[in-house]
Amino acid sequence: MLGKREPTIYGSQTLNDIIDDLSQTANAVDIKIEHLQANAEHLLIERIHSAYQAVDFIIIIINNIGGSYVCVSRQTISNYFLIF
C-alpha cells in the first residue's frame, strides 16, 4: 500500500522505491543491505536470529506504523541490540 494509499497525504514513494534508494546509497559506500517485508512475526524473528549469527554488525529498522500491535517483541530485539 505504500505509495498507493492517499499519495497526496502520504507521498507516492513505494517500498521498492525506498529499497532502491537505500541500495544505491549502500552500494556507493560498500555496505550490504537486506530487506524483509513480512506479515508473519516468526519470519521477522527468524531473520533477526539468522542475521545476528552471520555478521558482526546489524542495523534493524522496523516500521510498525500500520500494525495494531508491536509484532516483534521488544525482548526478542533487546536480546541482541540496544533499543532507544
Q: Tens-digit pLDDT profile for the chain (84 aa)?
A: 778 888 898 899 998 999 999 999 999 999 888 888 887 778 888 888 888 777 777 777 776 665 555 555 555 555 555 444
One-letter amino acid of 77: I
Place of cell 537486506: 34
Q: What is the pTM of this model?
A: 0.64
pLDDT the model gives residue 1: 74
pLDDT the model gives residue 47: 85
One-letter amino acid of 45: I
One-letter amino acid of 50: S
Q: How many Cβ atoms sit within 10 Å of the Cβ of residue 71? A: 15
